Amino acid sequence: MQATLEIGKSIRAGGALTNYHEAGQGTPVILIHGSGPGVSAWANWSRTIPSLAEHFHVFAYDQLGFGYTELPRENRYGLEQWTEHLLDFMHECTHTHPGGQLCPIIQHDVLSQSEP
């Protein structure tokens, strides 16, 4: 495979090898790309990451079905799968990156807002 700037690091999240970019230090910020054709974390955020990385610990990941993240076995996509993937990505960040203790706080906030 030819090297490309779109391929960053990888972590297993939600059962899929997930491509992501990481830069900076401090409070973690996770950038989530849209869902149009050809979308990836790098395509959407490559020009934003350097500026944010001056103040934050930035993570920009390819969602299921986009960029260089593995395709899920079930081959189904939607808000539920993307949300589960995001929450698992945040969970994995806490185990992989020292200082990622704020990911569970963000995760808790997301979950509490989604409850009826």
* 105 domain residue, yes or no: yes
Residue 39 maps to which CATH number? 3.40.50.1820
pLDDT tens digits for range 50-98: 999 999 889 999 999 899 999 877 777 788 888 889 989 988 876 665 5
Percent with pLDDT over 70 in the chain? 78
80 vs 9, more confident: 9
Range of the domain at 63: 10-114
**What value does the mean pLDDT take over residues 31-59?**
91
Would the pTM of this model clear 0.85, i.e. be above it? Answer: no
* DSSP result, the chain: ----TT--EEEEETTEEEEEEEE--SSEEEEE---STT--HHHHHTTTHHHHHTTSEEEEEPPTTSTTSPPPTT---SHHHHHHHHHHHHHHHHHHSTT-THHHHHHHHHHHHH--
* 28 domain residue, yes or no: yes
